[in-house]
Chain A
Amino acid sequence: MSSNRQAAAASPWRAPILFAVLALLFVLEGTVRNGMFSGSWNTSLAILNMGLISAITALGVNMQWGYAGLFNAGVVGFLALGGLAPVLVSLPPVEGAWAAGGPRLILALLVGLGTLALAKIAYTRTGRAWTVALVLLAGFVAYRWLFDPAVTAIEANNSARAGNIGGLGLPILLSWIVGGAFAAAAAWAVGKVALGLRSDYLAIATLGIGEIIVAVLRNENWLARGVMNVTSIPRPVPYEIDLQQNPAFVDFAASWGFDAAEASGIWVKLCYMSLFLVVLLAIILLAELALKSPWGRMMRAIRDNETAAEAMGKDVTARHLQIFILGSAVIGVAGAMMITLDGLMAPNSYNPLRYTFLIWVMVVVGGSGNNWGAVLGAVLIWFLWIKAEVWGPNLIGALVGPLPDGDVKSHLLNSAAHMRFIAMGLVLLLVLRFAPRGLVPER
């Protein structure tokens, strides 16, 4: 028992000190050049920016897990769905795509949704399985009859460079909100089904919906060009090339002792960082306020003693659905931000290990139920994840240095990059064992 005891009341300095250590890591990465750090501010800020997006994702997961104890095993799906928003909202419209099959496509999707709604009504009204099956079958045939030609037409439209339905050309920042809405809508559908059966089946349902969303993005070329990827997604910040051609900026960079190319990269990343920080802090603020409100107190009461809350007439399932949707919306926002940062939508990159389970490591390491913990865990784990790719081979290189050259040595050197998976597993297991409440425990 004594081995896993944590100080019951964590020191109030614990979180600030940990954040200071984290900041130091990023400063070292930006200034010191050796076997461990790159000494490049561009690298340091790039890691930080992605770390901040991970932090927002972790906040979303922490709302679901920390506040309500819901296990979302499909984070990758909600991230990907959020990432669809910049493509559909902010990309310029594709010429001819809408004319080729836009209205028919929308109609098909409406018929599809209508069929599901009708099936639900049929089930509640008649309760007969075969009526429902008939409705579904008829709806499905109608849907495919509308859908397939529309898709063929859209995908044939300028298929080499577009072939997708295109965007609305609206500001990219708007798409972040839309991304949240997309994810929230999917969460509503999943939660409605998987919460509140005799027991919940949320973990498996989210695991499934995550796979499905990624499969849709990968295969529906009309939507986001599938594996052909969408590039040049608009940016909310200046382009490096414009900055480098701006004499005022070049002078400004020179006054700080940077050359224009490096400074433009840093400047763009700082702009992103500011945007992300604003979103992050706004979400934390709202989350903390919500948690201190009567609604938040009720959420915690439900989490700590579900039976008592149910006996007091609280609708536990409805509350869980609410928090699941809210958390997923936050994840969706993070997904849209990620695509904005990358400027690229590449469905093949959505790997559940990286985008679901690594997020879970972040939340648990940071401290389940603590928003600042989630942020700390996210940025720290992301830093380690990126750096482990460098440190692993260096470490292995140093270890196998004395070995004679040969198959074993080259195999070890080649696979050293995979060490980071083992490292992440070890970090999670060590935290679970020795500090199960995380680095910044819940108060």
Chain B
Amino acid sequence: MDILNALVAFLNFVFIPAAAYGAQLALGALGVTLIYGILRFSNFAHGDTMAFGTAITILTTWGLQSLGISLGVLPTALLALPVGIAATALLVLGTDRVVYRFYRAQKAAPIIFVMASVGVMFIMNGLTRLIIGVDDQRFDDGARFIINVRDFREWTGLAEGLALRSTQVLTLVVTAIVCGALFWFLNRTKKGKAMRAYSDNEDLALLSGIDPERVVRMTWIIAAALITIAGVLYGLDKSFRPFNYFQLLLPIFAAAIVGGLGSPLGAIAGGFLVAFSEVAVTYPWVKVAGYLAPGWQPDGLLQLLGTEYKFAVSFVILIVVLLFRPTGLFRGKSV
């Protein structure tokens, strides 16, 4: 038995990629859960807004690169990120002003907001197509690896290599900072508490002197920042393709629901749970098994499901959690 090599293989192919993917999903799910908690609807335009924010960031990155500006070992996209966030925030605030505010003043049922978000989804989808097209785009630069496979093998003398890509570390660090800041904001500041109060009880918040429109604006800005960051990190880690971002809607929603809709902590837990299950179920375990049981030669790849079916994993996790805990892991608003 070769536990060390098995562990390295596990870290390299399962743990690290899943952690990075989980962080990206968590950021996306936080946006969904905030909008669900405060604006009270599931925003179908979420994936396309994410694609839009990332597209703007990519265009800015290319602009910076053509000017010869870079961040050295870090990707230039980090420098372009604030532009992407600002553009996305302006876009969603504009959408709110033109589309959603009207229904809010009418106290319209949340389902109308869902319908409107489908319309917004079409428009954002079209906008993204207009500004960047439908093709794959890569925009990562800077150092590719923090640890690469060959160096790792030389240092440790193990047969199995470990690669730690800089985008993965960047994803985790940025997510940790963003989540920390968000929780500090929601739990420690007056504005953040006002947001939670509005989510808990709209009328009472109004009677306490909290301005609903300010709460809503703040929510859109935070959600725009969260999904743009999520989108850019996902794009750096994998690649940017608008349709993939649209498809991320399912795992992101699954993460938010599994965690308990309306619960920020749940969104993070849900994101990691979905990501780890997805990667673990679609990873061919034959290599790890080979180290753990050297004599055993399984005839398959020991892969539970093909990677094409990763969406099925989000779905199954969702169903299982809902069957046993109808309100999600952390009790959300969906009682």
Is there any pair of Cβ atoms, one from A and one from B, under 8 angstroms apart in the complex?
Answer: yes
- Interface set of A (CB-CB < 8 Å, partner B): 1, 71, 73, 140, 144, 148, 193-194, 197-199, 201, 203-205, 207-209, 211-212, 215-216, 218-219, 351-353, 357, 360-361, 364, 415, 418-429, 432-433, 436
Q: A193-B319, A208-B311, A211-B247 are in contact. Are A436 and B122 (CB under 8 A)?
A: no
Cβ A199 vs Cβ B334 within 8 A: yes
Cβ A425 vs Cβ B309 within 8 A: no
Q: A219-B306, A420-B126, A422-B123 are in contact. Are A197 and B323 (CB under 8 A)?
A: yes
> Within 8 Å of chain A (Cβ to Cβ): is B142?
no
Cβ B122 vs Cβ A425 within 8 A: yes
Cβ B326 vs Cβ A425 within 8 A: no
User: A68 CB to closest chain B CB, in angstroms?
Assistant: 13
Scoring B114, B118, B246 by chain A CB atoms within 10 A of each residue's CB, the highest score goes to B118
Residue pairs across A and B with Cβ atoms less than 8 A apart, 20 shown, are: A199-B334, A204-B254, A208-B250, A211-B250, A212-B315, A353-B122, A353-B246, A357-B44, A360-B118, A415-B130, A420-B126, A421-B126, A422-B127, A424-B122, A425-B120, A425-B122, A426-B123, A429-B99, A429-B123, A432-B115
Contact mask for chain B residues 44-68; partner A; CB cutoff 8 A; 1 contact, 0 none? 1000000000000000000000000
> Within 8 Å of chain A (Cβ to Cβ): is B104?
no
Cβ B118 vs Cβ A421 within 8 A: no
Cβ B326 vs Cβ A197 within 8 A: yes
How far apart are the CA atoms of A421 and B120 in the complex, in Å?
Answer: 10
How far apart are the CA atoms of A201 and B130 in the complex, in Å?
Answer: 34
Name the A residues within 8 Å of B102 (CB-CB): 433
How far apart are the CA atoms of A208 and B309 in the complex, in Å?
Answer: 11
* Cβ contact of B116, chosen from A205, A421, A429, cutoff 8 A: A429
Name the A residues within 8 Å of B111 (CB-CB): 71
Cβ A429 vs Cβ B120 within 8 A: yes
> Within 8 Å of chain A (Cβ to Cβ): is B177?
no
Cβ A425 vs Cβ B119 within 8 A: yes
Name the A residues within 8 Å of B121 (CB-CB): 353, 357, 425
- Interface set of B (CB-CB < 8 Å, partner A): 42, 44, 99, 102, 106, 111-112, 114-116, 118-127, 129-130, 133, 243, 246-247, 249-250, 253-254, 257, 300, 304, 306, 308-309, 311-312, 314-315, 318-319, 322-323, 326-327, 334-335
* Cβ contact of A71, chosen from B106, B114, B300, B309, cutoff 8 A: B114
Cβ A357 vs Cβ B308 within 8 A: no
* Cβ contact of B122, chosen from A1, A148, A215, A422, cutoff 8 A: A422
Name the A residues within 8 Å of B129 (CB-CB): 415, 418, 421
Q: A421-B126, A428-B122 are in contact. Are A198 and B335 (CB under 8 A)?
A: yes
Name the A residues within 8 Å of B250 (CB-CB): 204, 207-208, 211
Find the B residue at minimum CB distance from A412: B130
Find the A residue at minimum CB distance from B257: A204
How far apart are the CA atoms of A352 and B118 in the complex, in Å?
Answer: 12
Scoring A144, A207, A215, A216 by chain B CB atoms within 10 A of each residue's CB, the highest score goes to A207
Q: A415-B130, A428-B118 are in contact. Are A198 and B327 (CB under 8 A)?
A: yes
How far apart are the CA atoms of A420 and B278 in the complex, in Å?
Answer: 35
Name the B residues within 8 Å of A212 (CB-CB): 309, 311-312, 315
5 A-B pairs besides A215-B308, A357-B44, A426-B123 with CB distance below 8 A are A73-B44, A208-B250, A360-B115, A428-B119, A428-B122
Name the A residues within 8 Å of B106 (CB-CB): 1
How far apart are the CA atoms of A424 and B123 in the complex, in Å?
Answer: 8
* Cβ contact of A208, chosen from B99, B123, B314, cutoff 8 A: B314
Q: A212-B312, A218-B308 are in contact. Are A422 and B119 (CB under 8 A)?
A: no
Cβ A215 vs Cβ B312 within 8 A: yes
Cβ B118 vs Cβ A361 within 8 A: yes
Name the A residues within 8 Å of B123 (CB-CB): 421-422, 425-426, 429
* Cβ contact of B133, chosen from A71, A209, A357, A415, cutoff 8 A: A415
Name the B residues within 8 Å of A144 (CB-CB): 300
Name the A residues within 8 Å of B44 (CB-CB): 73, 357
User: B142 CB to closest chain A CB, in angstroms?
Assistant: 28
Find the A residue at minimum CB distance from B300: A148
How far apart are the CA atoms of A73 and B254 in the complex, in Å?
Answer: 14
User: A54 CB to closest chain B CB, in angstroms?
Assistant: 16
How far apart are the CA atoms of A418 and B123 in the complex, in Å?
Answer: 10
Name the A residues within 8 Å of B300 (CB-CB): 144, 148
How far apart are the CA atoms of A429 and B122 in the complex, in Å?
Answer: 10
User: A67 CB to closest chain B CB, in angstroms?
Assistant: 15
* Cβ contact of A204, chosen from B253, B309, B312, cutoff 8 A: B253
User: A203 CB to closest chain B CB, in angstroms?
Assistant: 7
Q: A198-B326, A208-B318, A353-B246 are in contact. Are A219 and B309 (CB under 8 A)?
A: yes
How far apart are the CA atoms of A377 and B124 in the complex, in Å?
Answer: 22
Find the B residue at minimum CB distance from A419: B126
Cβ B119 vs Cβ A432 within 8 A: yes
How far apart are the CA atoms of A424 and B118 in the complex, in Å?
Answer: 10
User: A206 CB to closest chain B CB, in angstroms?
Assistant: 10
Closest 6 CB pairs of A and B: A425-B122, A421-B126, A208-B315, A425-B123, A422-B126, A428-B119
User: A191 CB to closest chain B CB, in angstroms?
Assistant: 12
How far apart are the CA atoms of A426 and B319 in the complex, in Å?
Answer: 35
* Cβ contact of A201, chosen from B120, B124, B257, B311, cutoff 8 A: B257
How far apart are the CA atoms of A207 and B256 in the complex, in Å?
Answer: 14
User: A251 CB to closest chain B CB, in angstroms?
Assistant: 48
* Cβ contact of A203, chosen from B42, B122, B306, B312, cutoff 8 A: B42
Name the B residues within 8 Å of A193 (CB-CB): 319, 323
User: B282 CB to closest chain A CB, in angstroms?
Assistant: 12
How far apart are the CA atoms of A433 and B108 in the complex, in Å?
Answer: 11
Find the A residue at minimum CB distance from B247: A211
Name the B residues within 8 Å of A429 (CB-CB): 99, 116, 119-120, 123
Name the A residues within 8 Å of B124 (CB-CB): 425
How far apart are the CA atoms of A433 and B322 in the complex, in Å?
Answer: 35
Scoring A194, A424, A425 by chain B CB atoms within 10 A of each residue's CB, the highest score goes to A425
* Cβ contact of A219, chosen from B308, B322, B327, cutoff 8 A: B308
Name the A residues within 8 Å of B253 (CB-CB): 204, 207
Name the B residues within 8 Å of A423 (CB-CB): 126
Cβ A432 vs Cβ B257 within 8 A: no
